Structure 1
Amino acid sequence: MRRVILPICLLLGACVPGHYNEMPTRAAMQQESTMPPMKSFSAPRPLPPQRSNRDIQRDFLDLSFQLESGRMLQHLSRFEGPITVQVTGRPPLTLIPDLNRLLHRLRTEAGIDISRVSDSGANITIEAVSRDDIRRSLPKAACFVVPNISRLSQYRAARNTRLTDWSQLKERKKIAIFVPSDSSPQEVRDCLHEELAQALGPLNDLYRLSDSVFNDDNVHAVLTGFDMLVLRTYYAPELRSGMSRREVEARLPGILSRLHPAGDHVAPRFAGSTPRAWIEAIQTALGPGSLPNQRRLAAQDALRIAKAVGWTDHRRAFSHFALGRITQASDPDYAQDQFVAAEQFYKRTPGTDLHRAYSAAQLAAYAVSQGRGEDALMLLGAHLGTAERYENAALLATLMMLRAEALDLSGRVSEAQSIRLDSLGWARYGYGADWAVRAKLREVTALSPLKGPNG
């Protein structure tokens, strides 16, 4: 299992978190910066699941008894008893505080007995290594998790053997997570959330989930209310390691009624399965290693499949969004049409506030580039609050920078200066190095006809 790199999927231009040739080292972060202090989020505010327990039961089974490759699992595997976590390697300064915050959430929201220890021999080892080391092991991975080892050097010898085969597990006892030591703070934190969740619980990702990190679209950065419910269910006393799908399925209705009683009174909204052809098209369009023409053809293919299947949910919206993102540089008017279409489908789909915030960033950027400051302000609206609720500092900083440009265009210069300065603290967490923050600021500033090449 791994967090896959989708380098052009989410934000405006080339400055996407975690994919720079240079990111801040521990020594560099300790040096005095000319930027405002790095900002951090306050108490988590996850939204509770809004879906039917019947839908959640199906999601739980598909997440827990299948791998991302499509291979079926015969047994539920989990840790039995208290779980310990240790950190090794060269962790960046923000890793331990972010990990402590995550472990607190797992204890309080998911009811998992998990704690960080300094001794060797922990159940879960988080090793911070360079991105180059990670990609030498898995070229398309930003981070990944493996059973039955504790060091990256062991993985190279054990790869593709029974030792690291998830399907052989009936009970989890030792797992390693490999995260980058030289990426932005947000990228490291996102890896912690996704990989620790999969080390503890489900091993699959489902594109049909709009409200979960168990989705390869990478829209959600931190564990959601739905994710915590899934993990709480995974460690319910009614379940145990080694159970079959049928045994788990028989117990799920009672477990979900106890843990999520509101879900018994919500009508199910059956979401069809996601064709493998669509998944592969999206991965080609947005993943690393594809040529520009290959990306566009793959994005068009994904949209064609979405239309043929008859989707009207967030997957149809994401197909439009991906095509807009691919064509933004070569055909901005066409890309704008795709972002508008994405917004229309997102608006009809419950639980897509964060997705809409990404669309708003693209639509507002286009409005700013045309000198329509008031339109951009209207488009941004409440999305800054959404980015903050979902703890996405990179998105929040980008939205704030766009708002500053829109305010400038509207003649509200002092407000623009204030919000632009405020954005930099969030950008330091989302983008990392000071030079990367400045690059993002220049990118957004250049959109404005007052300041761009022709301004």
Structure 2
Amino acid sequence: MRRIIIPLCLALGACVPNTASEMPSRAATHEESAMPAMKMFGSPQPMPPARSNRDIERDFLELAFQLESGRTLPYLSRFDGPITIRVTGSPPPTLMPDLNRVVNRLRTEAGIDVMAVRGGDANITVEAVSRSDIRRHLPQAACFVVPNISSLAEYSKARHTRATNWSLLTERQRLAVFLPNDASPQEVRDCLHEELAQAIGPLNDLYRLPDSVFNDDNVHTVLTGFDMLILRAYYAPELRSGMTRAQVAARLPGILSRLNPIGDTIAPRNSTSTPRAWVRAIQTALGPGARPPERREAALEALQIAQAVGWQDHRLAFSHFALGRLSQSTDPDFAHDQFLIADRIYRQSPGTDLHRAYTASQLAAYAISEGRGNDALKLVEPHLAVAKSHENAALLATLMMLQAEALDQVGRVTEAHAVRLDSLGWARYGFGADWAVRAKLREITMLNPIRGSDG
């Protein structure tokens, strides 16, 4: 299992007229002094799932008994007994604090007996290696998890053998998670959450889930309330390793009634499954490897599939969003229309506040490029709290930088300076190196037609 490299929507530079055509590796900023301290999030604020237990039963079974390829798994596999996690390799400074934080959440929210250890053997080894090392093994992966090994060197020898075959597992004892040590703190944390969740729990991802890291759209980047419920159910005492799907299905309604009683009072939505053709189209459109015309053609195909299936949920909106992303440089007005359509669909779909925050960043960028600062403020400000509550520092910093530029446009210069300075601490966590923060700041500054014309 692996976190696919799908950059969602933080690249704003090509989306509107009057912007720089290329992003320099280093750029002048409003703040020439040293960057402020990196900001990190405080107490988590997960929202409990607001959906029917009938729907969650189906989600659980598809997450637990299928791989992302669609291949079925014959047995439930999990750890029996306490789970230990150790870190090896060359971890960045933020990894251990983020690991301790997610371990504490797994213990308190999911009720899993898990702990981080400093030395010796462990059930799960988190090895921090370079991105080039990861891509040497899996070119399209940002990070990944493998059973029955403890190091990348061991994986090199065991790859394509029975030892690393998930479908042969009936009980988990030893796994390795490989994370990049030269990515931004947020990307490292995002990989940690997704791969650790799959190392401990379900192995599948489902695009139909609007509120989960078990979804390759990469909208949610930290474990949600839904995810914690799934993991709590996965380790319910009524279940055990080696159970078949039918055995788990027989016990699951009682488990969910006990863990999520409100879910018994909500009517099911019965969302349809996601065709593999749509998944392939989205991965071609937003993943690595394809040329720009191929990406846009794939986005058009994804939208056509979504419309033919008859979706009215976040997957239809995401199809419009992807098409907007890939039309920004060639037809910004068409791209703007796609973002408007996506936002309208998201607004009617439950559990999509974070999706709307991403869309708002694109619409606000367009408004700033047209000198409509007040409109940009109305677009951005409702979503700042959403980005923060979902612990997305890159999105939060982007929204704040857009807010600062809009404030400048309407003459609120002092406020703009304060917001822009405040954004930098979040940007250091979200984007990493100082040059990347400065590049993002300049990119958004250049959206302003006055600044853009000044060069």
What TM-score, normalized to structure 2? Answer: 0.95
Matches of 1:453 and 1:66, distance apart in 2: 53
Q: Which residue of 1 aligns with 2:364?
A: 364
Counterpart of 1:13 in structure 2 is 12
Could you say which residue in structure 2 is the equivalent of 1:192? 192
Counterparts of 1:337-348 in structure 2, within 5 Å, are 337-348=337-348
Q: CA deviation at 1:121?
A: 1.4
- Equivalent AA in structure 2 for residue 282 of structure 1: I
What is the deviation of 1:118?
A: 1.6
Deviation of 1:21 after TM superposition, in Å, equals: 12
- Runs of 5+ unmatched residues, structure 1: 24-32
- Is residue 12–residue 362 contact of structure 2 (8 Å, CA) maintained in 1? no
Q: Distance in 1 between matches of 2:284 and 2:401?
A: 30
- Cα deviation for residue 300 of structure 1 reads 0.3
Match of 1:317 in 2: 317
Q: Does 1:225 align with 2:192?
A: no
Tell me which residue corresponds to 2:18.
none
Q: In structure 2, what is the equivalent of residue 377 of structure 1? A: 377
Check whether the contact 2:381–2:403 (CA below 8 A) recurs between aligned residues.
no
* Deviation (angstroms), 1:453: 2.7
SS in 1 for 2:127: strand
CA positional deviation for 1:70:
0.5
In structure 2, give the amino acid aligned to 1:425.
G
Distance 1:21 1:186 in 2: 22
Q: Is 2:398 aligned against 1:398?
A: yes
* Contact 2:60–2:230 (Cα < 8 Å) also in 1: yes
Judge conservation of contact 1:220–1:390 (CA < 8 Å) in 2.
yes
8 Å CA contact 2:25, 2:439 repeated in 1: no
Cα distance in 1 for partners of 2:65, 2:199 equals 14
Question: Does 1:439 find its partner at 2:439?
Answer: yes
Match of 1:115 in 2: 115
CA displacement at 1:120 relative to structure 2 = 2.2
Change in Cα spacing, 1:283 to 1:21, as seen in structure 2 (3 Å) is farther
2:63/2:203 contact within 8 Å kept: yes
1:27-426 map, 5 Å: 34-426=34-426
CA–CA separation in structure 2 for the residues paired with 1:127 and 1:21: 32
User: In the aligned structure 1, how far is the partner of 2:453 from the partner of 2:173?
Assistant: 58
* Aligned-pair CA distance for 1:161: 1.1
Tell me how far apart the structure 2 counterparts of residues 270 and 291 of structure 1 sit (CA, whole Å): 36
Superposition deviation, residue 330 in structure 1:
1.3
Distance in 2 of aligned mates of 1:91 and 1:12: 27
**Residue identity opposite 1:352 in structure 2:** T
Using the alignment, how far apart are the partners of 1:221 and 1:409 within structure 2?
A: 32
Matched residues, number: 441
Secondary structure of the residue that 1:327 maps to in structure 2?
Answer: coil
Residues of 2 paired with 1:10 and 1:293: CA distance?
Answer: 18
1:381 partner SS:
helix
Aligned-pair CA distance for 1:11: 1.1
Is the contact made by 2:357 and 2:387 (CA closer than 8 Å) also made in structure 1?
yes
Higher relative contact order (CA 8 A, sep 6+): 2
Instruction: Report the TM-score, using the length of structure 1 for normalisation.
Output: 0.95
**SS at the partner of 2:88?**
strand
CA distance in 1, matches of 2:325, 2:145: 29
Deviation at 1:452, TM superposition (A): 1.1
> Do the aligned partners of 1:409 and 1:450 also contact (CA within 8 Å) in 2?
no
Counterpart of 2:30 in structure 1 is: none
C-alpha separation between the residues in 2 aligned to 1:171 and 1:436?
43
